[in-house]
């Protein structure tokens, strides 16, 4: 059976989608520590897991601090990486 969680309702849809590429991740935990919103938890193997996506503000701390380019943050509706929005100017 399907179960709805908060992130799946239209009203609470996250603006950003955060993804971890486990093939690149070395489990350093930096993204978990630097996320100001507590979006991540770590699984039993030490990999970051997106636990509370709806809290993500798109600050990109996880994206910039990850030493292995294993984090991707996209706008939910546009499918576009926020890095392309000109934040680095
Ligand atoms: S973009 Fe910011 S708020 Fe979102 S998961 Fe990364 S560090 Fe956390
Ligand atoms: S900062 Fe990058 S390498 Fe380190 S745990 Fe997070 S995703 Fe993995």
Q: What is the CATH number of the domain that holds 20?
A: 3.30.70.20
Nearest CA owner, ligand 1 atom 8: 35
Q: Is residue 84 part of a domain?
A: no
Whole-model pTM over 0.85: no
Q: Is residue 47 part of a domain?
A: yes
Amino acid 89: pLDDT: 43
Q: Is residue 83 part of a domain?
A: no
Closest ligand to Cα 15: 1
Total structural domains within the chain: 1
Task: Quick: pLDDT tens for 14-47.
Answer: 589 999 999 999 999 999 999 999 999 999 999 9
Q: Is residue 41 part of a domain?
A: yes
The preferred substitution site among 38, 39, 50, 65 for testing ligand 1, maximizing ligand atoms within 8 Å of CB, is: 39
Q: Is residue 5 part of a domain?
A: no
Q: In which domain, by residue range, is 44 found?
A: 13-76
Task: Quick: pLDDT tens for 32-87.
Answer: 999 999 999 999 999 999 999 999 999 999 999 999 999 999 997 754 454 554 44
Looking at the chain, list the stretches that DSSP marks H as alpha helix, in order from N- to C-terminal side: 30-34, 61-65
**Phi, psi (deg, nearest 5) at residue 46:** 95, 0
């Amino acid at each position: 059976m399907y179960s709805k969680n908060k992130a799946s309702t239209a009203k609470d849809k996250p603006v950003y989608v955060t993804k971890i590429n486990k093939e690149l991740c070395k489990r350093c935990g930096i993204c978990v520590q630097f996320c100001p919103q507590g979006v991540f938890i770590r699984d039993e193997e030490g990999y970051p897991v997106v636990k509370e996506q709806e809290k993500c503000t798109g600050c990109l701390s996880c994206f910039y601090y990850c030493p292995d380019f294993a984090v991707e943050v996209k706008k939910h509706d546009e499918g576009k990486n926020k890095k392309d929005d000109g934040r680095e100017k």
